[in-house]
Amino acid sequence: MLPQPHPAVIFKTVSEGAVLLHTESEVYFGLNHVGAQVWRLVTEGASGLDDLVTGLSDTYPDVAADVIRDDVAALLAELTENGLLVSAGSDDAAPQTVP
């Protein structure tokens, strides 16, 4: 099961990709276009790493699936380490509402 966005994180699309802001810890994180796509897939209900790899492989067919898997796993780990994603079963995990 994938980690989920911390409810205090705001996602905003920008021309270079997206930015994330954790409003409680004030962590600011920039994502390129691929990272922004990963974030969207996570928030739109991708059920696991395989779903993310499949979604990205459709967009980037010239990139090997194992490369995508490694890169996505590294991004998810970094976002979790910075408190932007939390374990799905955690008390901090909550449905994200978008205004």
Cβ burial of 79 (10 Å; 0-12, 13-18, 19+) is buried
Pick the CATH number of 4-86 from 3.30.70, 2.40.128, 3.30.1490, 1.10.10: 1.10.10
The structural domains of the chain, with segments of one domain joined by +, span 4-86
- pTM value? 0.85
3-state helix, strand, coil in the chain (%, to 5): 40, 20, 40
Residue-by-residue pLDDT tens, the chain, 99 positions:
899 999 999 999 999 999 999 999 999 999 999 999 999 999 998 889 999 999 999 999 999 999 999 999 999 999 999 999 998 765 555 444 443
